[in-house]
Amino acid sequence: MDTQSPKPRWWTRLLHRPGWLIALAVCLLLTAVLVPFGWRYYRTQQLVAGIEACGGAVNFELGGPTWLRNIVGDEWMKPFDAPNHVSSFRLVFDASTPSQSRNSSWTPRETLGDDQFLDYILPLNDLVGIKSLELTENDLTQLSFEKLGQFEQLEVLVLWDKAFDDDALSHFSKSYKLRSLDLSGTSVTDEGLRHLSGLKDLTDLSLSNTDVTDEGVSELQRHLPGLDVSDD
C-alpha cells in the first residue's frame, strides 16, 4: 500500500524562506513604533483642541531632525512637535477692535474651570510633560491647584489667581525643576513661602499685590541665595 508523506505545515515552509521572516519582523517592528506614536499624536491634538475651545492657547517645541524639516516643511513635521507652553487668560486683546481706550480692546472670554483643567491640561501634562504654564484670573479651585504639584517637568509658572493661597502653594514643595514663579495677585503669605525653600533651581519669583512681607522674602532668600524676588 502506497503511503504519502504528510505535507509540511505552512509555518515550516516559511522557515525555509528567510525573506518572509525578515519582512514579518520589519512589519511587527514598524507596528510597535508607529501605533503608539500615532495614538500619542492623535491624543495630543485632541487635548490641544479642548484647551483652545476654552479660550486657551498652546505653543509647541519643534521636534524631529532639522534636515528632514528643511526638506518636507513644518506641516509634515507636526507629529514630531511637542506642546511646551499652555496659557489661559480671562481677558484677551482684540487688536482688530478700534477704540479710544486701551482697556476697551481687552475682551472677556470663557474662563477655565476645574473641569476643563482636569479634562485637558492635566492629561496633556501626563502625556508630554508641560514645561511652561500661564493661568491668569481663571475659576480654578484647590482641586486643580493640588494637581499642579504633579507637573514634574514644569519650569515656568505664572499663576495670577486670588484663590491661590498658602495651602495651594504647599503642593509645589517638590517641583524641583521650577525656575520661574509668578504669584502676583494671589493670597500667598510669608507662611506659604516656606514651601519653596527646597526648590534649588528657582531663580525668579514675582510677588506683586500679595501679603508677603520683606521678612518673609529675606527668610526664603536665606535658603535660596540666588533667588531674585520682584514685587513691582
Q: Is residue 151 part of a domain?
A: yes
- Note the pTM of the prediction, 2 decimals: 0.76
Q: Is residue 150 part of a domain?
A: yes
The pLDDT of residue 165 is 96
Evaluate if residue 98 carries a pLDDT over 90: no
Residue 195's nearest CA partner among 221, 179, 215, 173 is 173
pLDDT tens readout for residues 201-213: 999 999 999 999 9
Query: What does the pLDDT average to over 170-174?
Result: 91
Q: Is residue 12 part of a domain?
A: no
Domain span including residue 146: 19-230
Q: Is residue 220 part of a domain?
A: yes
Q: Is residue 215 part of a domain?
A: yes
Domain count along the chain? 1
The pLDDT mean for the chain works out to: 83
pLDDT tens readout for residues 10-28: 556 655 666 655 665 666 6
Q: Is residue 3 part of a domain?
A: no
pLDDT tens readout for residues 42-79: 899 999 999 998 888 999 998 888 988 888 888 888 88
Q: Is residue 202 part of a domain?
A: yes
CATH number of domain containing 109: 3.80.10.10
Q: Is residue 13 part of a domain?
A: no
